[in-house]
Each structure stands twice: as C-alpha cells, then as structure tokens.
Structure 1
Amino acid sequence: MCNYLFVYGTLLEGEGNHGLLHHARPIAKQAKTKGKLYDTKQGYPMLDIDSEHIVYGEVYEVTDQLMWKALDELEGYIHEGHKDNEYDKVVQTVETDQGEFEAVVYVASDRSLLHEFIPSGNWRVWKEDLLEGMLYFAYGSCMDNDRFIKHGVDQHFQDCLGRAVFKGYTLRYNHVIHDGGRADMVEEGGVVEGKLYRVPPEAITYLYGREGVDNNGYRPAIISVEHEGKMVDHVLTFFVLNKEKEVAPPDHYSTEIIRGATGVLSEEYVQKLIEQVHALKNSDVVNN
C-alpha cells in the first residue's frame, strides 16, 4: 500500500482538519500534482482528475492504519467504487523539490460538488481576500525600494515591518531568463531571510504582474514566517514555477537584492548573499 498522501485543502498545515495528520511525517510543504481544483462552496476544495492543470499542496507519510481510516471518514470514502463515495482514492505522481513521489490523492467522486474552478490550483491563495491587502514576504529584488520608486509604486511598500525568516528553504537563482538567474526559494533545508511588508491591494496587483504570474514565471503561495521571534501566518510570497539549473544573476539584479537587504536583514545573511553570487559567477566562468 502507498504510504504517501498528497493534501491540498483542509488537511494542509494551518487548516481546520490538519490535526488528523498530527502523527504523520511531513515530506514536502511545496508539492504539486496534476488535476483541476474546485471550490465546493462548502468550506473545502475538491480535485478533479485532469492532465492539463496543476494543483498545489503538501505531502505526508502516513503509516498508521487508524489514521487512514479517519481520513477516509473525513473524505466520505466508503470503499473503492462505492456509489455513495464523496471522494475516490487514486495514486498518482506528485512533484516536490526533493523529487517525485507516488502518493494517494483524494479526488472527486460526487461531481455535483464541483462548483467553481480555482485557476491558481492553490486553496490557500484562493481563500485569501487579496482585495483587502495582506502581509507580503519579499526575498529577492522586491526588497529594493529604488526599484519600486523606478516603477512608481513605492507608496504601496512603505509599511515594512522588518526582517522575517522562512525556515527549511534555500535561496537559489533557478528562474533563468536571457541575462541570468532570478531568485527562488527551494525546499532543501536552510533559511531564507527577507522583508515583511503590509501591503494594500494595489501592491498585490503590481506584484502579480511583476512576478509574471499569468506568464508562467512565478506562482503565488501563502506561507508562515518568523518575525521578531513569533510565527506569522497568512503571508503572501512567490515561488518559481519551472525551476532550472541555478545560474548567476545579472549584476543589476544582484545589486538590487543586496541594496534591499542591507540594513534590514542580518549582516551574516547579506554576506552570504554576496558570496553566493560570487561563487555562481566563478562557476559560470569555469563551465564556459
């Protein structure tokens, strides 16, 4: 039996039914699988099998049979092929930063519940009322106020709460375009420091455009970060959609990151950023 479980709704960390997974082993917080995500309008989503769209979620290892029984009860799964199943259970490939897994996924059986398609494939992002503004974690060039001034949007990023930390991730330059790499956070251990902002809706609209959300650049995600010794939930950030082999960023981009980080992030981390860019440039020279 497959012991890996892909979750994408109320079983996600921080959501209402996550407690059912209290003894499960977390494998990946950034995971994706094929499917179309729908809002049932009953407080939870439902994944419909589909090969053209992506759903984002988390992966856990579940070895306790009583836990599987509780999960089946939650999802309205009686047994395979039962006409009254609300969800069915399938095993399909799930992609993570650590590699691919074959995982159990609860998918739509009662299709009358598929009310509204969620284009982002992300239940947490869908739930957030972005029209009200929210907290935003910047870790790349969006830490640089000079860039905001250049784009005429600096007024939307004046409420900077200071340094925040995202644990379990490493900064990589694996969004590769014509002149070099752009920043991403990869789930491989480590720590990423960044700036925590409270931003209005206008800032979110700007960020969606700048990050190329509609052009397969970055995808929005809701995370939890540490700020002033406390965990802060419901924070918007962006991850690279299609991760490539890391390459050095162009000078103008790395300058923006260092300039934005200096004086807010820890001196140790800023130095690490500088050394990382130098190492990548040296590596590119050697490889070329």
Structure 2
Amino acid sequence: MNKHYVFVYGTLRKNEKYHHLLQGAELVAEQAWANGSLFDTGLGYPAVKESESDPVYGELYLVSDKHLCSLDELEEYEEHSHDNLYDRKKQIIFHDNGKTEAYIYTVAKHNESMLITPILLGDWKVYQFEKQSRNVLYFAYGSCLDHARFKLGGVDHFFQKFAGVAELKGYTLRFTKKLPDGGRADIVEEGGVVEGKVYEIPYECLEYLYRREGVHTRLYRPALIDVKMHGQTIQDVLTFIVVSKDPETAPPDHYLEEIIRGGSGFLSETYLSRLQEHVKML
C-alpha cells in the first residue's frame, strides 16, 4: 500500500465538515502552510490559486491510497482529465519541523471564476470564525497571562470570565520572535505541553487582541487549536502564533516577569520552573 503526503486547507481540516475522510490518516503537522492565494468560493468551501506571494495555512497528513481516492472524489479530480474542478499537484509544504513535498488541491485554471473573496489571513477556519459574533474562548500562554497588563491597557473588562487552566499538547513554548529588546513567546509544534489560561471574551475584544498581537503587520497570526481543560477536549479555541519564526532569543526581564506573574497560582509550579530554567539557558 502506498502512502502520500497531502496538505488540506479547507473543509478537510480538523473539526470541519469532511474531516472524517481522513480518519486513520497520520497527522504530520497541525500548523503547516503552503505558498498560494486562498479564496472563499461562496459555496461553503475555499479554493487555492497557485501563487508565490501569500501563505495558506492548513494541516499536513500522510494518507493511504484509499484516502487519496476519497479526497479525489470530494475535490472532483480525475487523473488525466481536462474537466476537473481542482487540480492535484505536488508542492513544498512548510511546518515547524522543516518542509515536505505533498499533494495540494488547487483550483483548475478554467474554474478561476469561482474565486470570489480573497481570504487575507490565509486561514479558512479563522475566516469562518471571524464571521460569527458570539463570545470567544481564548487561550493565553505568554504575556497575556498577566491581568495587570490588561488593567494597564484599560481592557481588563474584556477578561473577567476566566474559564480555566488548559493544556495544549504537542507544542512547546519558545521565544521565536526577536524584537529589539529580546524574544517574545510562541507555540512551536515540536512535542511537549504548553499550559495557559482560557478566557471567555466578547467578540469585540478581538480588535484589541489583533492589535496587541500585530496581526495586521504579520507579527502573529490567529489560529484555532484544541486544548484539554477540566478533563475534556475543547475544540477550536483562539490563540496566536508567530508568523515568521526567528532563532530563539531570551525574552527581556519584564516580559518573563509578566508570564510568571500571570501564571503563578494558575499554571503548575513545575511548568513555570522549567520555563524559567529554559530562559536561563538562552
């Protein structure tokens, strides 16, 4: 039986409509990206146009021949046909552990009229998430652990509903965004566990978080993750991930202090101690 790497970016992703077609496939990278331009087709699913300019975010899987046949059927792709909805091509896919050549389904050139609305952040799940207006679950793991910063910024009223402490498995806290005074926190998909606080925040708080995290200047990007909280898996919780990762740099003292102060009494002492020891090694 052959195995194939496949990159998915729309309704095949975790917690999406057709993810069941990947049941039994091996998840290689949950945070992966490809070069391309992502569009909403207005038909309940997105499409990618080949491009070198923008990142498209999704997930990388290792699938069987049977999986690939199911995906081809969903994407209306038939080998050697000139009337496909999507083309299936191999492309370099990037992730935290390097890069992998994988299949990606891109819109066939004769169907480019279906590309209606550009998805500027390159993430179909985030695009769908932004269209709703209900309260949001937000996973804080860096300086946003520190309620004192919220008070100082006059936004503490947004963060009154503390939902609980959560674990993000499969990730490690690193300081991969280098600013003039030192590194800033990031979650990197390299195994381990990241502890954080989950807040239930009103939708209007997103404007503040996007501004604070530098979303529109491509410092961090919003992402939806699954976390463990109160013994249950909570799906599609908002967090922020560094876009262009630098070699790890020690954070400034004030930034580390915010993380420790915000996490003390909430995150485990073991986790906070290991974090401080890691920073000493940088």
Name the TM-score, length of structure 2 as normaliser.
0.96
Residue 234 of structure 1 corresponds to 236
**4+ residue runs over 3 A deviation:** none
Residue 26 of structure 1 corresponds to 27
Residue 91 of structure 2 corresponds to 92
Residue 187 of structure 2 corresponds to 185
What is the CA distance between 1:14 and its match in structure 2? 1.2
1:144 to 125, 143, 146: 146
Give unpaired runs (5+ residues) of structure 1.
281-288
1:3 alignment partner, SS class: strand
Distance in 1 separating the partners of 2:59 and 2:236: 16
Q: 1:236 to 1:175 in 2, by over 3 A?
A: same
- Structure 2 residue 281 is the aligned partner of structure 1 residue 279: yes
What is the CA distance between 1:162 and its match in structure 2? 1.8
Query: CA contact under 8 A between 2:4 and 2:65: conserved in structure 1?
Result: no
Residue 12 of structure 1 corresponds to 13
Query: CA contact under 8 A between 1:2 and 1:103: conserved in structure 2?
Result: no
Give unpaired runs (5+ residues) of structure 2.
none
Deviations 1:176-234 (A, max 9, x none): 00000000000000000000000112321101000001112100001111101000012
2:173 alignment partner, SS class: strand
1:95 alignment partner, SS class: strand
Report the AA paired with residue 141 of structure 1.
Answer: S
Distance in 2 separating the partners of 1:15 and 1:136: 19
- Structure 2 residue 31 is the aligned partner of structure 1 residue 54: no
Matches within 5 A, 1:106-255: 106-109=105-108, 110-128=111-129, 129=131, 131-255=133-257
Report the AA paired with residue 5 of structure 2.
Answer: Y
2:133 alignment partner, SS class: helix
Report the AA paired with residue 65 of structure 1.
Answer: D
What is the CA distance between 1:2 and its match in structure 2? 7.7
Moved more, 269-278 or 24-33: 269-278
- Structure 2 residue 64 is the aligned partner of structure 1 residue 77: no
Residue 285 of structure 1 corresponds to none
Query: CA contact under 8 A between 1:133 and 1:204: conserved in structure 2?
Result: no
Report the AA paired with residue 33 of structure 2.
Answer: K
Report % sequence identity: 48
Distance in 2 separating the partners of 1:2 and 1:230: 32
